[in-house]
Amino acid sequence: MQNKKNGFTLIEIMVSVVIFAIIATISYRVISSLVKTKEIVDETQQKWGDISLMNSNLETSIHRLIPLTVRDNNGMVLPALYGKDKLNGVYDAQLEMTLSGYIGDNVLGVKPPKRVGYRFYKDTIYLITWPVLNRALNSVPQIDVLVGNVNNFDVFYLYDNGQWNKQWPPEGGNVDELPVALQIRLGLKSGESEVRTWSLQK
């Protein structure tokens, strides 16, 4: 009797290898697509989460805005609401304001007024929080990142004549005066943009 050996032929092995390669390629593409989709979703959630945080900070700041002037590190008077287009120092901000404190709040307790600023520098918006209202020579603020990948952050102030301007207070205006309204125009590098306007007349 002739002995018959069990095994695979070369053709069967080659067919198996080809099938395995096809399955592996498809699996890789599916997994790669899922990973890329997750990264896009995570980036989108992070982006809109940061924007939501910034809007929440702005909303709170503007609602607590009070006409109280402060003094800088050199003893110079700063307007209650200070808006300018260009930065002049490391801790400078395009939008700076004095916020009211909390008195006898059941949750927050007693908090004194504070000075905050919103600084746009190198594609990023920062929140500048000063530890005191009237600064000493060695006063240094806390700096927190609010949102990155920003294309533009423009702040406009509505004057009594109905014109929007990028500077507040007006030249020769009172330092404890507030504009009729404040408008912020935000543009992201990804193409999205938003415009928000607040009335400051009580």
Quick one: average pLDDT of 52-78? 91
Residue 98 lies in a domain: yes
Answer whether residue 50 shows pLDDT above 70.
Answer: yes
* Segments forming the whole domain that contains residue 97: 57-148
Residue 70 lies in a domain: yes
Residue 120 lies in a domain: yes
Residue 156 lies in a domain: no
Domain CATH code at residue 118: 3.10.610.10
State the amino acid at position 48 in one-letter form.
W
Minimum mean pLDDT among 3-7, 58-62, 75-79, 187-191: which range?
A: 3-7
Answer whether residue 7 shows pLDDT above 70.
Answer: no
Structural domains in the chain (count): 1
Residue 133 lies in a domain: yes
Residue 25 lies in a domain: no
Residue 91 lies in a domain: yes
105-162 tens-digit pLDDT: 555 556 789 999 999 999 999 999 999 999 988 999 999 999 999 999 999 999 999 9
CA terminus-to-terminus distance, the chain:
109
Residue 136 lies in a domain: yes
Q: Which two tokens stand for residue 118?
A: 């919103």
Enumerate the β-bridge partners of residue 98.
Answer: 115
Banded model confidence at residue 175, pLDDT cuts 50, 70, 90: very high
Which strand (E) or helix (H) includes residue 129?
strand 124-130
CB-side neighbour CA atoms (13 Å) of 135: 21
